Amino acid sequence: MALNQSVLSVNELTVSFRQYTRGLRQIELTVITGLSAEIQPGKILAVIGSSGSGKSLLAHAILGILPSNARVTGTMAYDGEELTAERQVKLRGREIAFIPQSVNYLDPLMKVGAQVRASIKDNKKEVQRDIFARYHLDSQVENLYPFQLSGGMARRVLVSGAMVSDARLIIADEPTPGLHPEIVEEALTHLRQLADEGRAVMLITHDVGAVLNVADYIAVFYAGTTVETAPVKDFAGKGEALRHPYSKALWKALPQNDFIPVSGFQPSPGDLPLGCLFSPRCPMASRECFESRPLERELRGGKVRCYHAT
Amino acid sequence: MQLKQLILFILGKMVKMFILLAALCLLSFWMVSNSPVDPVQAYVGADMMLVGPEQLERISAYWGVDKPPIEQFGRWASALLQGDLGTSMIFRRPVASIIKERFFASLILMGLAWTLSGLVGFALGIVAGMKQNTWVDKAIKSYCLILASTPTFWLGLILLIIFAVWLNWFPLGLAVPAGVLTENVRLIDRIHHLILPALTLSVLGVANIALHTRQKLVEVLSSEYVLLARARGASETEILWRHGIRNIALPAITLQFASLSELFGGSVLAETVFSYPGLGRATVQAGLRSDVPLLLGCVIFSAVFVFSGNLIADTVYRVVDPRIRHKDGAV
């Protein structure tokens, strides 16, 4: 994972929101804490984490579409150059494409063809028809409203909108829970194709099982940080090859494995532990774990954020 | 198929309107017949001392107010079904012609106020929504909240004091200059008389539509489809034109049509303050002097007016909103 190859590299990204509670008391909600990740061309990095762990905000942070009360620290680099707010504005919709997965991302009162055409610069009609044909959408589909689409059609319309420009980095947000398994399958296979054509893909999801066949690397997201980044082959057996206690526990919690739930719950963003974010729930936690946060280090071809991982 | 549904919908609404009108007539008639104001006394007024009891009886017999209320209602209702609204006691003219004349005056006033408040309110709502939580937004919100809690008649009086009494820019009241023959009244005179009442009426309508539009726009701007538009590089102006206006226009139009009832209520007060000879003022006069035919005429007419507003609001939704228009159109 040489740095100069990465399309995107995120280094120690922290995102927090300032909120006012009763009176003028301010609290700082830290939703992403010292997160690092990188993606190479032709690879899929799956970011997995439980629902509500703030992983969608990671996508928003990369695209620069966080709400205005968000504070971002840390650095991001696109193509080896710093990804500043101005570059984000320039790149999003062109080189960085965002694929959401829910029909709610389409304007309910606008025909879907027009919505796709809105992100095209020239030859709008032509490009839109080409791309609809490429994704097996009938020519009448462009005149439909979102509520008239089936789940699969809606997803293909969303993909079409993202692919009108020849994006080099694709950020796909998690397939909505409850979406038909075949549609999820279709979506994932398609992302694999896009990666095989040389694009870098970041896939954000809560479903480890679903991404095992398509991802190259899996980053385990916990309480706003990536505790471990591992090649997909390490997610096998009883999880012996995994590095972080949370990844192991998560792996064992899957129904197809031991189905043992991880005890306890994630810390809330307003009340993060002083030390390692996983320390309150960790069976291996020692004094240093409670006192300071471990830095990310390389270990056996992956990365881990743990003092005790071997 | 769609047209047929629409026609059925409107027919259904019409049936509802007739039931509503029947109930309304009955209720108003009952209330007026229990009113402590005696129509004969109210008519004679200060000349009461000069009029003998026989004459009073003859007046009541002439109007039919000596008959029991049920008989009075029966006679009035059967005449109404033949299209005759009766004769106003205080104006001594057919009610229909009074309503027609007064409604025309009111229509200009209300139409002006309605358009003005709709446009200004919509624009203010958009500005506040786009600049959410900035001082601009806060200023517009405070302005609207103050307006929303201002009584119409009070605002009318304040405007009168400032612009008519102190500054002398506008006349104190009426729709045309006093002492000028109808054929000599110029358009500019009419407009001059219209401005203050129209301003009073519209200023109050602004608050409602502006706050509603702001709220709706804030919702739209925090929606997932706007997030996606941002993620795909759309600018805030593009987002407003492409998604904002599209999603807030319909609720705003609907609200504006549904607000005709408030507008009518407001016009009663505004017309009274400005002595503007519109339908609202005629209603007040009819009520104060127990002119039952005129009052009932005004009640029926205003009910139809408000009902039409609501009907248009509902129909616009059906015709414009694709989600209702193509209800059965999933492909």
A158 vs B contacts (CB less than 8 Å): 228
CA pair distance A248, A230, nearest whole angstrom: 12
B316 vs A contacts (CB less than 8 Å): none
B237 vs A contacts (CB less than 8 Å): none
Domain boundaries, chain A: 3-38+47-95+204-304
Least-confidence region, from A39-53, A237-251, B181-195: B181-195
Fold of the domain spanning A3-38+47-95+204-304? Rossmann fold (3.40.50)
* Three-class secondary structure of residue A156 per DSSP: helix
B216 vs A contacts (CB less than 8 Å): none
> What mean pLDDT do residues A44-54 have?
82
Evaluate if residue A4 carries a pLDDT over 50: no
Evaluate if residue B90 carries a pLDDT over 80: no
CA pair distance A36, B95, nearest whole angstrom: 81
A204 vs B contacts (CB less than 8 Å): none
Nearest C-alpha neighbor of A219 from the set A238, A241, A198, A244: A244
- With 0-12 / 13-18 / 19 or more C-beta atoms within 10 angstroms meaning exposed / middle / buried, residue B27 is exposed
CA pair distance B316, B322, nearest whole angstrom: 11
Sketch out chain B's domains with CATH numbers: 95-279+313-325 (1.10.3720.10)
CA pair distance B266, B227, nearest whole angstrom: 41
* Three-class secondary structure of residue A204 per DSSP: strand
Strands of chain A, DSSP E:
8-20, 26-39, 44-48, 70-78, 81-82, 96-99, 169-172, 200-205, 217-222, 225-231, 297-299, 302-304
Average pLDDT of chain A to the nearest whole number: 85
Evaluate if residue A19 carries a pLDDT over 90: no
Q: Where are the alpha helices (DSSP H) in A109-207?
A: 112-117, 124-134, 151-163, 181-196
Tokens of residue B100, six digits: 């027609």
pLDDT band at A217 (very low <50, low <70, confident <90, very high): very high
Provide the terminal-to-terminal Cα distance of chain B, rounded to the nearest Å: 17
Evaluate if residue A174 carries a pLDDT over 90: no
pLDDT tens column, B145-204: 988 888 888 888 888 888 877 887 777 766 666 666 666 666 777 777 788 888 888 887
pLDDT of residue B331: 40
Q: Where are the alpha helices (DSSP H) in chain A?
A: 55-63, 85-91, 112-117, 124-134, 151-163, 181-196, 208-211, 245-253, 287-291
Residues, chain A? 310
Tokens of residue A149, six digits: 């689409």
* Three-class secondary structure of residue A144 per DSSP: coil
Tokens of residue A306, six digits: 């743990």
CA pair distance A146, A154, nearest whole angstrom: 7
Put simply, the answer to whether B321 touches A109 (Cβ < 8 Å) is yes
Strand order in the sheet with A81-82: A26-39, A8-20, A70-78, A81-82
pLDDT band at B46 (very low <50, low <70, confident <90, very high): low
Average pLDDT of chain B to the nearest whole number: 82
pLDDT of residue B139: 92
Tell me, what amino acid is at B114?
W
pLDDT of residue A1: 44
Put simply, the answer to whether A98 touches B228 (Cβ < 8 Å) is yes
Q: How many CB atoms lie within 10 A of CB B249?
A: 15
Query: In sequence order, what are the beta bridge partners of A302?
Result: A299
Tokens of residue B31, six digits: 């209330």
Identify from B132, B230, B232, B326 which residue to disrupt to test chain A contact, counting A C-beta atoms within 10 A and taking the largest count: B232
Candidate from A98, A104, A145 with C-beta closest to B232: A98
pLDDT band at A219 (very low <50, low <70, confident <90, very high): very high
**Which helix or strand (DSSP H or E) is residue A232 part of?**
none
**Which helix or strand (DSSP H or E) is residue B199 part of?**
helix B187-221
Least-confidence region, from A177-186, A245-254, A268-277: A177-186
Residue A200 near residue A28, CB atoms below 8 Å? no
pLDDT band at A257 (very low <50, low <70, confident <90, very high): confident
Angle between helical axes of B292-320 and B260-273 (0-180°, round to 10) = 140
Of residues B224 and B6, which shows the higher confidence score?
B224
pLDDT tens column, B19-33: 988 898 888 888 877
> Residues in chain A whose beta carbon is closer than 8 A to a beta carbon of chain B?
60, 63, 65, 89, 92-94, 97-98, 100, 102, 104-110, 118-119, 140-141, 144-145, 147-148, 158, 161-162
Evaluate if residue A270 carries a pLDDT over 80: no
Tokens of residue B265, six digits: 């209520």
pLDDT band at A176 (very low <50, low <70, confident <90, very high): low
**Residue A266 φ then ψ, to 5°:** -65, 145
> What mean pLDDT do residues B39-43 have?
70
Residue percentage of chain B with pLDDT more than 70: 89
Tokens of residue A56, six digits: 């969608």
How wide is the angle at C-alpha B201 spanned by C-alphas B196 and B204, nearest 5°? 125
DSSP annotation of B94 reads B
A93 vs B contacts (CB less than 8 Å): 231-234
> Residues in chain B whose beta carbon is closer than 8 A to a beta carbon of chain A?
223-225, 227-234, 238, 242-243, 246-247, 250, 321-323, 326, 329-331
Q: Phi-psi bin for B195: left (phi > 0), alpha (psi -120 to 50), beta?
A: alpha
Tell me, what amino acid is at B239?
I
pLDDT band at B208 (very low <50, low <70, confident <90, very high): confident
> What mean pLDDT do residues B74-93 have?
78
pLDDT of residue A177: 60
Q: Which of A152-161, B84-93, B94-103, B133-142 has the highest mean pLDDT?
A: B133-142
**Residue A295 φ then ψ, to 5°:** -85, 165
CA distances to B65, B222, B230 from B125, in Å: 52, 16, 22
Evaluate if residue A123 carries a pLDDT over 90: no
Put simply, the answer to whether B234 touches A108 (Cβ < 8 Å) is no
